[in-house]
Amino acid sequence: MRAMPSRLSLSLAILTTAACESASAAPDAAVVTDAPRPDVVEADVAAEPDVPTPADAPRVIEPCDAGAGDGGIVVRGRAYNFGPTGGASLRGAVIRVLEHPERCVTLGDSNDFSFGGFVAGEPVSLTMDHPDYVPIQTGTHSVPSTGITGITFQAPTWGIYRLMATAAREVPQGDRCQIAATVTALGLSIDSPTPSHGEAGATVTIEPDPGDAVGPIYFNYYGPGSILPDRALRETTRDGGVLWLNVRPGEYVLTAHKAGVNITQARFRCRAGVLVNASPPMGLQVVP
């Protein structure tokens, strides 16, 4: 799951129109682009999943009354809105260190953040809470002696979360987590000035076996700004995105496979009710 400022504009138009159609509507009623229509949406226009939202189960977000940590090694990053306004402010979002919940920051007009007080080799996972967004968490990373620069959030609103669930034909369960990652091409990342930055033709596996979880589901690429999860795909497209849905809580490792290509692994701490996304450049990244 990448974040370009307009990467979901056409996808949202396709899904929003499809969700408003009845099952007997004309198949061409939702055509908004010359790209191929995703069959998954056409087949399920009358069966949008009943995805929980804050109105169904109000969440209390604890304010950040502590600091970001002093001294030691520093971890820096940026939060993105996963949608048409990828650079929009996430003002008011509270970001915490999962392993050190006393360390937190509240985003202002800037989406950049930093934490201090780490020692080399310790694990770090960051969480983000905002009433308009799905609770989200980064992958889990080992802090190097030089620190981390570039850890990212790609946060979908509740509306986009519902639309993606519709396309994936799966209802997110509250006692499970949802896992996402992007197989990212060599030298590219979230801010790369390209219409897509995924590595096509890769397969992704998860360990340990997640049992009855659903995945992998790869994202189809229909053109700039038009992507959707597609359960018929068997490998990554130019988008590079991949999902595992309704995963039981625990610790997992994602591994991407493509002949002749070296790709870093992504580690996760799966917690109930959370979307965990190892987004670029700290996920499944192609390296020399």
What are the tens digits of pLDDT across the range 11-57? 444 443 333 333 333 223 222 222 332 333 333 333 445 666 555 55
Which of 225, 217, 175, 190 lies closest to 11, judged by CA?
225
| More confident of the two residues 250 and 9 | 250
Summarize the confidence of residues 195-212 as an average pLDDT: 95
Predicted pLDDT of residue 28: 30
Render pLDDT for 132-143 as a digit per residue (tens, 0 to 9).
999 999 999 999
Predicted pLDDT of residue 263: 98
- C-alpha count within 13 angstroms, C-beta hemisphere, residue 277: 25
Strand partners, 184: 198, 285
Query: Which residue's entry shows tokens 């591994």?
Result: 255
Strand partners, 266: 254
What phi and psi values does residue 16 have, to the nearest 5 degrees?
-65, -45
pTM of the model: 0.82
The DSSP code for 200 is T
Predicted pLDDT of residue 82: 86
Q: How far is CA 239 from CA 3, 46, 94, 182, in A?
A: 10, 27, 29, 8
Confidence of residue 238 (pLDDT cuts 50, 70, 90): very high
Q: Which of 77-86, 163-172, 206-215 is the least confident region?
A: 77-86
d(CA 142, CA 153): 17
Confidence of residue 78 (pLDDT cuts 50, 70, 90): very high
